[in-house]
Amino acid sequence: MKFIPLKNDGTLDLKAAQELCTRKTKILSVMHVSNVLGTINPVKELMALAHDRGALGIIDGAQSVPHLPVDVKELNCDFLFFSGHKLLGPSGIGVLYGKTKHLETMEPFLFGGDMIKEVSLTGASWNDVPWKFEAGTPNITGVIGLGAAIDYLSALGRDAVAQHGKELVGYARQELAKIPGIKLYGPEEGTAVVSFSIKSIPPHDVAALLDREGLAVRAGNHCAMPLLSKLGVPGTVRASFSVYNTPEDVDVLVAGIKKVQEVFRQ
């Protein structure tokens, strides 16, 4: 495995990617939106790079599909996946998109009802895509819940959802930057999340005190230890936004941070 390095502003070093991805590369896998920095990665260009080298291109859409309009055909990815629970849907279910030509050549990895076409005591043949990969009784309630969540977001309008997220992140970055002792991470033009730290106050203390104000933020390494090492901090505080958040929530966050600083007498 080789890793595309990050530039200091939290964006991917695309020049390095060009050199790292060679004719020997089998898969280029990239997250669309960073769950720590909110960076929107240029996945369309990276898919083109993968294909230029004869590799498959895979996109982790866990943080992009809930917040941005995503068109798998336009991105020309071979596979893209996302989780239900980050999209206002149930947990334990997600979506894997794959180009039919790949899915048809892939072997199933789960065996059970519905994924076979014919079975005998000596062999079996697989059902068509997608049933080949849907072994056993499906997660019916999960599918219905996820479908409702997708319909809900689609009815709000994917562009409107993206615009709302962009405005909230822009406003949050602007207001947080005004507080002395705050350090913001990631590029200006991110989506959905804002990561920050407060001078001399451990992130988990910030989160615990904000919690008392009714503010749910996440603190720690956000399952991205190598990134945190690169940032040179053990953890950050992360505020994330969705369709139900408003600019007033940002004001409440700013007031909460000021209270935290008072507790620590900064």
Ligand X SMILES: Cc1ncc(COP(=O)(O)O)c(C=O)c1O
| 205-244 binders of ligand X (CB under 6 A) | none
Give the nearer residue to ligand X in terms of CB position, either 209 or 227.
227
Closest to ligand X by CB, 31 vs 43, is 31
Closest approach, Cβ 88 to ligand X, in A, equals 14
Query: Cβ(56)–Cβ(50) under 8 Å?
Result: yes
Residue 217, phi then psi, degrees to nearest 5: -120, 165
Q: Find the part of the chain contacting ligand X (CB under 6 A) among 59-67, 157-165, 200-208, 246-254.
A: 59-67
Contact range with ligand X by CB under 6 A, out of 43-51, 56-64, 65-73, 121-129: 56-64
Q: At residue 48, what is the residue type?
A: A
| Binding footprint of ligand X, residue count (CB under 6 A) | 7
Residue 194 within binding range of ligand X, rule CB under 6 A: no
Using CA atoms, how far apart are residues 113 and 52, in angstroms rounded to an integer?
39
Q: Dig out the tokens for 196 from the structure.
A: 């920050």
| Beta-ladder partners of 30 | 59
Cα angle, residue 128 at apex, residues 124 and 134 outer, rounded to 5°: 85
Q: Under the criterion CB under 6 A, does residue 62 sit at the interface with ligand X? A: yes
Nearer to ligand X, 63 or 261 (CB): 63
Confirm or reject binding of residue 35 to ligand X (CB under 6 A): yes
Distance CA 222, CA 227 (A): 9
* Interaction of residue 58 with ligand X, rule CB under 6 A: no
Contact region with ligand X (CB under 6 A), list: 46-54, 58-66, 146-154, 193-201 = 58-66
The single residue among 40, 60, 185, 236 that binds ligand X, judged by CB under 6 A, is 60
What is the nearest approach in angstroms of ligand X to the Cβ of residue 22?
Answer: 26
Query: Which CB, 29 or 127, lies closer to ligand X?
Result: 29
Selected from 21, 30, 31, 176, the binder of ligand X by CB under 6 A is: 31
Among 11, 39, 41, 63, binds ligand X (CB under 6 A): 63
- The answer to whether residues 68 and 98 touch, using CB atoms and an 8 Å cutoff, is no
Task: Closer to ligand X by CB, 11 or 83: give it.
Answer: 83
Please report whether residue 83 would count as binding ligand X according to CB under 6 A.
yes
Which of the following is catalytic: 109, 119, 223, 244?
A: 223
Nearer to ligand X, 21 or 192 (CB): 192
- 223 as an active site residue: the answer is yes
Binding residues for ligand X, rule: CB under 6 A, are 31, 35, 60, 62-63, 83, 94
Residues with catalytic roles? 223
